[in-house]
Structure 1
């Protein structure tokens, strides 16, 4: 950031959660960003506290449940909450002209359509995973699936912490979509999300998913291409949520130079 340049004013949703705190720390450390608002749900013990209190710092921003108060004056909202909360936040963003970086997963098709409608008025970057590495992996999967389109069974294995509420993860589904698209398949038609009992032989046209939940696993994803005599595995393992926070700030910077529209991390990273 050059001297005198305007800092990006960022509001954080879910400010009292694990990801919210990682985002707050990232904004605090970014020289081109400043915190403009911090949201937490009604009843949160963090309401009324300074947003940087957990860092032993002062931001001058109080954590609030008041959407309008938190979003007024913001350039960008970063939201890693729940679908219903994100849509409520987005309604105010749309009204106030605030751009949005959405890392929330688990949206229904109707909810995704609602987000696309809002993107006609404000810039929205939505991705199931903000990690730069994951998005490079998605591109690698496109290449691998096209080359391994015959004689290989495809399975996607993902693992997350015990508190994650949706399964498979949004990242696992994005990986499945990338593979299915490369193979000319519809993931809705070929995905298998669970196996139990006498299932019969594996249908070679399917893409299988396996989900693990436990402990404090931040996020592990592996796509297995199992052929005769060999296996190819493309994996990404997260050791810190910091990678998602840094990707979110990168997306925020991208939106500052973009007009209304619905964007993905490929746009942010110039991979399209």
Structure 2
């Protein structure tokens, strides 16, 4: 049994995490939200789950380092500066940052990486995602995770091969591009499909999230897995033993 603290406990994901911690037989160390005492929560925890906001990341990492506890960051919409902060924190504590904590999506990313590697650059790759009407960032963190998996499979940089937000006279599709399309509406928890379009055939790898609890259960499993690890950056595939 582990004592796990939640940063962002009053959000929809925070409420799901409370249930997942109990279901896994762990102890809830407490929760904080904007303006809360993150340092005290870190001191009372064996691991932290951060599903708050990008602007709070530096303070949350500082609290985790001060308490010497691992942290899983599931916050989406992070920028390059946030990634640098995560790298710095990982020199002192175990850190796992991911755009999706679903175990199914973790396996999907593994399959996308394999497919991109084996099919070759002549197959066009498109990442299609749909989420509820209240989601504020696009493409989703999961879509970017899947796009990154495809880029890794091809041995290229996603930033140099990404196409987004096509509109108007865009011209022909750039060879080797990894395209993204984002749909928003209703209460969709998260649908993702990676399409490999070749000559006269297509391969589609998909995942549908039917309940937010899948992300909560995966996050709790990963947080418990981090306890006792050496300082460093970790990934969801490592939690599943895929790498």
Superposition TM-score, scaled by structure 1 size: 0.86
Unaligned runs of 5+ in 2: none
Unaligned runs of 5+ in 1: 1-6, 43-64
Tell me the residue number matched to 2:22: 28
* Kept in 1: contact 2:7–2:38 (CA 8 A): no
* TM superposition shift of 1:150: 4.4
* Kept in 2: contact 1:156–1:207 (CA 8 A): yes
Tell me the residue number matched to 2:201: 230
Tell me the residue number matched to 2:109: 138
- For 1:15, what is the secondary structure of its paired residue? coil
Matched, 1:106 2:77: yes
* TM superposition shift of 1:68: 2.4
Distance in 1, Cα, partners of 2:214 & 2:57: 21
* TM superposition shift of 1:203: 1.7
Could you give the per-residue CA deviations for residues 137-166 of structure 1, whole angstroms, max 9, x where no partner exists? 111111211222143211110111122221
- For 2:221, what is the secondary structure of its paired residue? helix
Tell me the residue number matched to 1:17: 11
* Kept in 2: contact 1:158–1:211 (CA 8 A): yes
Give the aligned length: 243
Moved beyond 6 Å, runs of 4+:
none
Tell me the residue number matched to 1:163: 134
Higher relative contact order (CA 8 A, sep 6+): 2
Distance in 1, Cα, partners of 2:34 & 2:121: 49
Distance in 1, Cα, partners of 2:96 & 2:237: 10
Tell me the residue number matched to 2:232: 261
Tell me the residue number matched to 1:40: 33
Distance in 2, Cα, partners of 1:99 & 1:87: 14
Superposition TM-score, scaled by structure 2 size: 0.95
Could you give the per-residue CA deviations for residues 58-84 of structure 1, whole angstroms, max 9, x where no partner exists? xxxxxxx22223222211111112111
